[in-house]
Structure 1
Amino acid sequence: MKRLILGIFSIICMVTANSVQAQDKGPEFSKLDVSPMDLAIYRNDKDQPVVRVIYSRPQKRDREVFGKLVPYGKVWRTGANEATEITFYQDMKIADETVKAGTYTLYTIPEEKEWTVILNKKTNTWGAYEYSEKEDIVRIKVPVRKAPNNIEALSMAFEKANNGADLLIGWDDRYVKVPFKTAK
Structure 2
Amino acid sequence: MKKLVKILIIVAAVLAVGYFVLKNWTKSHSPEDTAEITANELNVKVEYCQTAVKGRVIFGELVPFDRVWRTGANEATVISFNKDVKVAGKSLAAGEYSLWTIPREGDWTIVFNSQTGQWGTSYDEATDVLRVDVPSSQTSESTELFKISLVDVDTAGVNMSLKWDKTLVQVPID
Question: What interval of TM-score do these two structures reach, taking the shorter chain for normalisation?
Answer: 0.7 to 0.9
Question: Which residue of 2 is the match for residue 108 of structure 1?
Answer: 101
Q: TM-score, normalised by structure 1?
A: 0.76
How much is the aligned-residue C-alpha RMSD, in angstroms? 1.8
Identity %: 37
Which amino acid letter does the alignment assign opposite residue 36 of structure 1? P
In structure 2, what is the equivalent of residue 122 of structure 1?
115
Residues 39, 52 of structure 1: 8 Å contact kept:
yes
Provide the C-alpha distance between the structure 2 equivalents of 1:144 and 1:163, rounded to a whole number of angstroms: 20
Does the 8 Å contact 1:43/1:51 carry over to 2?
Answer: yes
Q: How does 1:28-39 map to 2 (within 5 A)?
A: 33-39=28-34
Residue of structure 1 equivalent to 2:16: none
1:155 aligns with 2:150: no
Q: CA separation in 1, counterparts of 2:129 and 2:90? A: 9
- Equivalent runs, 1:134-153 vs 2, <5 Å: 134-153=126-145
Shift of 1:96: 3.7
Which position in structure 1 is the counterpart of 2:43?
50
Distance in 1, Cα, partners of 2:171 & 2:30: 23
Distance 2:126 2:67 in 1: 16
Partners of 1:56 and 1:81 within 8 A in 2: yes
User: What residue ranges of structure 1 are gaps of 5+ in the alignment?
Assistant: 1-27
Which residue type is aligned with residue 151 of structure 1?
Answer: T
Structure 1 segments, 4+ long, off by >3 Å, are none
Structure 2's unaligned 5+ residue stretches are 1-20
In the TM superposition, what are the counterparts of 1:1-184 in structure 2 within 5 Å? 33-44=28-39, 50-129=43-122, 131-161=123-153, 162-181=155-174
**What corresponds to 2:11 in structure 1?**
none
Deviation at 1:158, TM superposition (A): 1.1
* Cα displacement string for residues 119-175 of structure 1 (whole angstroms, at most 9, x for unaligned residues): 01011111132x222211111111111224210000011122242101000000111
TM, length-normalised to structure 2 = 0.80
User: Could you say which structure has the larger radius of gyration?
Assistant: 1
